[in-house]
Amino acid sequence: MWIRNKLGHMALVLVILGAIFIRVCSSPGSPAIVDANKNVYVISQEGNVYGTIATFLDKAVENKVDNFILFVHGRGNHPKKAFDKKLIYGLEKDYSAKVMMFHWCSCSSWFGYPEDQARFAAKYLYGVLQSIKKYRNAKKTNMKFTLLTHSMGSIVLEETLLKFYKRPLGKLFDTLVINAPCSEGKNHVSWVDKIDFANEVYIVFNKNDVVLGSAGLQTGARRLGRGLENRRGQKFVLANNVLYIDVTKTGVNHRYYLGNSPQSHLGKFFHLVLNGEVAKLVKGDNVVEIVRDKVYVLKK
């Protein structure tokens, strides 16, 4: 009896602590712009962030940086996670770029799935895109522009396109890389087809991605980053304006774009696309096969 009561009390404490944790981490907060120096610039409710972005880009141009990456992170206790794991620094180091991270309130419980927070951040990301448009219209530069979304970052982009993207912004980015997207796979065409602000768009997926596998179990639907068909083998409709890159054979897991050997096929692919260049995808060279005309299976 004593043991039963003790266990009951412990369970109650865990439930209360879990509820507190979820409430603290899951309530939508103000998104922000973050740089590699750990500067955090909170975006106002109006979404006006042009001054911050213009200053950042001006400095990059002055320092003769050849590529700018706007990075939309995934789930986790950000920006602390980005600082601890050196995610921004890693991108700058691997790709000789200046990186600006779009931060959204992605913290959740250990088993949480902060989809509402990702969608809440969409209007702020749209404000950032508008600011980049304003900058590019005002100032001419040879610097390449790249947009990288990772995991649940795709949901922020998805909601931006579905809810706020009403007028064309022009070609803001040379490349857009949607890495390990946590968006639902089945209806992804509904938002991906709206992308018209990047010259080249790549969706990178891995059928064995463990992180996205658990995300799919929580939501009950196959994530786009886990492949292009559902669990019954029914194929998803593909978007017309993107190339799909299957990295399953490379053995990489979730954060495909960091820590790759520069000589590997995966490393060479990301070196091009995250530097604003067109990917070189050649069957028999770095590609095992091409499926459905636009799905490129990368060699190990």
- Asked if residue 164 has pLDDT above 50, the reply is yes
- The string of pLDDT tens digits covering residues 260-279 is 999 999 999 999 999 999 99
Q: Are 36 and 101 in contact (CB under 8 A)?
A: no
Contact 109, 42 (CB under 8 A): no
Question: Residue 77 has what pLDDT?
Answer: 82
Q: Which residue has the tokens 């006006």?
A: 48
pLDDT at 8: 45
**Residue 110 above 80 pLDDT?**
no
The structure tokens listed for 133 are: 């448009």
Spatial contact of 209 and 251, defined as CB atoms under 8 Å apart:
no
Residue 63 has pLDDT above 90, yes or no: yes
229 by Cβ neighbours in 10 Å (0-12 / 13-18 / 19+) ranks as middle
By C-alpha distance, which of 89, 83, 104 is closest to 151?
A: 104
Question: CB-based contacts of 87: which residues, under 8 Å, 6+ apart?
Answer: 71, 73, 81, 101, 258
pLDDT of 166 > 80? The answer is yes
How far CA 133 is from CA of 66, 137, 181, in Å, comes to: 18, 6, 25
Q: Which residue has the higher pLDDT, 77 or 9?
A: 77
Question: What are the residues whose beta carbons fall under 8 Å from the beta carbon of 273, sequence distance 6 or more?
Answer: 146, 175, 177, 200, 202, 279
For residue range 130-158, list pLDDT tens digits in order.
999 999 999 999 999 999 999 999 999 99
192 pLDDT more than 90 = yes
pLDDT digits (tens, 9 = 90+) for 21-46: 333 443 446 899 999 999 999 998 76
What rounded mean pLDDT belongs to the chain? 88
Can you give the pLDDT at residue 112? 62
146 vs 68: CA distance, rounded Å: 6
Q: Domains in the chain and their CATH numbers? A: 32-298 (3.40.50)
| Cα 261 from chain centroid (whole Å) | 21
Asked if 244 and 192 touch (Cβ cutoff 8 Å), the reply is: no
